[in-house]
């Protein structure tokens, strides 16, 4: 068994908004081990990003977070904010969606890569700068010794995302959290970034949490996957099992809704309606109003439990046997 890096138990996040309390995440459990990639999939508003941000203490101030979060065996919810901050900076690296806005425009790229090393590894400014050059080289930025002093706007989108990855890896973290890191990029650039992360992961043994809405990316990067809908995990398991035998109607519908060359021509099996509003979630299964299976009245009123349908493969439904393919 490999070493567990991050584990989340019973995580619930409630956001105070102008329009009332929104339950963004409700009772989520998962963990990721060293060298492994855990993918969180879902549509906008499903709670996939919020669960990770809340777990690492980056939720907005209005958020109320409950549950347990263990980073390298240390209970994050029990430590002081200062300690949590240090643990986060030292052991967790983040890559966010938009490389355009996640870099500070008035600081050089090198400075931004280096500052984590100064803060957490006690390097001098000089050492940290040398380290930044190394890191930029590591992520494939050409002539890093010169580019280290460039400003973010002088980089292209793909190069910027590489710089962000360099920044995330500065302290050789045990965990890399990639929050839709390729969504803002073109498909050829996305392929570069996916390869880069896979290669770095292999070399550094980092655990990766990859948040995305793109099932294709999941299939390529993940070892295990959790599908989120309406703030809850509806299906979770080894990536092969989930893709080969999706147990939840939502997962199946998502996979089927993608155009597939094999079925070109016919209508796509679309899901009716839209994702639910976190301010106004149904009492039972959040997917029930759109569910093609529909089950019975129980689905509307009662939350289905996560049921194990195969080793490590769990599905939140009342009808696991009938629905599994």
Binding of residue 145 to another protein (CB under 8 A)? no
- Please enumerate in sequence order all residues whose Cβ is within 8 A of that of 209, keeping only pairs 6 or more positions apart, or say none: 6, 32, 37, 38, 39, 40, 52, 175, 176, 177, 178
Enumerate residues 184-203 that contact another protein by CB under 8 A.
Answer: 186-192, 194-196, 198-199, 202
Q: Residues 55-74: x/- map of binding to another protein (CB under 8 A)?
A: -xxxxxxxx-----------
Binding of residue 264 to another protein (CB under 8 A)? yes
Nearer to another protein, 215 or 309 (CB): 215
Nearer to another protein, 183 or 298 (CB): 183
Enumerate residues 152-191 that contact another protein by CB under 8 A.
Answer: 153, 156-159, 164, 167, 170, 186-191
Nearer to another protein, 33 or 298 (CB): 33
Enumerate residues 294-323 that contact another protein by CB under 8 A.
Answer: none
Distance CA 306, CA 131 (A): 45
First to last CA, the chain: 29
Q: What is the DSSP string of 226-242?
A: EEEETTEEEEEEEHHHH
**3-state SS, residue 300:** helix
Among 15, 26, 76, 209, binds another protein (CB under 8 A): 15
Enumerate residues 94-133 that contact another protein by CB under 8 A.
Answer: 94, 96, 98, 101-107, 115-116, 119-120
**Shortest separation between residue 35's beta carbon and another protein, angstroms:** 12
How big is the site for another protein, counted in residues (CB under 8 A)?
109
**3-state SS, residue 14:** strand
Are 228 and 213 a contacting pair, CB within 8 Å? no
Query: 117-140 in b/e burial notation, b at 16+ Cβ within 10 A?
Result: bbbbeebeeeebbbbbbebbbbbb
Among 7, 69, 87, 208, binds another protein (CB under 8 A): 87
**Shortest separation between residue 296's beta carbon and another protein, angstroms:** 23
**Shortest separation between residue 112's beta carbon and another protein, angstroms:** 8
Which structure tokens are listed for 146?
Answer: 């010169």
What angle do the packed helices 109-121 and 81-91 form, to 10 degrees? 120
Nearer to another protein, 220 or 298 (CB): 220
Binding of residue 249 to another protein (CB under 8 A)? no
Among 1, 122, 126, 261, binds another protein (CB under 8 A): 261
**3-state SS, residue 310:** strand
Binding of residue 218 to another protein (CB under 8 A)? yes
Binding of residue 40 to another protein (CB under 8 A)? no
Nearer to another protein, 105 or 122 (CB): 105
- Please enumerate in sequence order all residues whose Cβ is within 8 A of that of 167, keeping only pairs 6 or more positions apart, or say none: 93, 112, 113, 116, 135
Nearer to another protein, 118 or 298 (CB): 118
**Shortest separation between residue 10's beta carbon and another protein, angstroms:** 20
For residue 241, which of 305, 310, 318 has the smallest C-alpha distance?
310
């Amino acid at each position: 068994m490999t070493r567990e890096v991050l584990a989340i138990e019973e995580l619930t996040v409630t956001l105070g908004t102008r329009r009332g309390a929104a339950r963004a995440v409700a009772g989520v459990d998962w963990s990721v081990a060293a060298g492994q990639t855990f993918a969180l999939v879902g549509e906008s508003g499903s709670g996939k990003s919020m669960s990770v941000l809340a777990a690492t203490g980056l939720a907005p101030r209005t958020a109320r977070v409950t549950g347990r979060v263990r980073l390298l065996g240390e209970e994050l919810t029990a430590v002081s904010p200062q300690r949590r901050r240090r643990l986060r900076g030292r052991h967790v690296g983040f890559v966010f969606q938009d490389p355009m806005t996640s870099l500070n425009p008035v600081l050089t790229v090198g400075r931004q890569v280096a500052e984590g090393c100064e803060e957490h590894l006690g390097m001098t400014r000089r050492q940290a700068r040398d380290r930044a050059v190394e890191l930029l080289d590591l992520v494939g930025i050409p002539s890093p010794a010169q580019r280290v002093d460039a400003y973010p706007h002088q980089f292209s989108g793909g190069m910027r995302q590489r710089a962000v990855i360099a920044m995330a890896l500065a302290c050789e973290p045990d965990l890399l959290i990639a929050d839709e890191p390729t969504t803002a990029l073109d498909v050829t650039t996305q392929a570069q970034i996916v390869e880069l992360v896979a290669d770095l992961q292999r070399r550094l043994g980092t655990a990766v949490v990859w948040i995305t809405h793109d099932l294709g990316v999941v299939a390529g990067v993940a070892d295990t996957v959790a599908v989120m809908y309406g703030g809850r995990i509806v299906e979770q398991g080894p990536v092969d099992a989930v893709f080969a035998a999706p147990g939840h109607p939502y997962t199946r519908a998502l996979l089927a809704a993608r155009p597939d060359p094999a079925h070109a021509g016919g209508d796509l099996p679309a899901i009716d309606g839209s994702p639910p509003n976190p301010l106004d979630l149904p009492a039972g299964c959040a997917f029930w109003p759109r569910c093609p299976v529909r089950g019975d009245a129980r689905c509307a009123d009662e939350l289905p439990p996560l049921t194990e349908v195969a080793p490590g493969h769990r599905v939140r439904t009342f009808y696991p046997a009938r629905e599994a393919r």
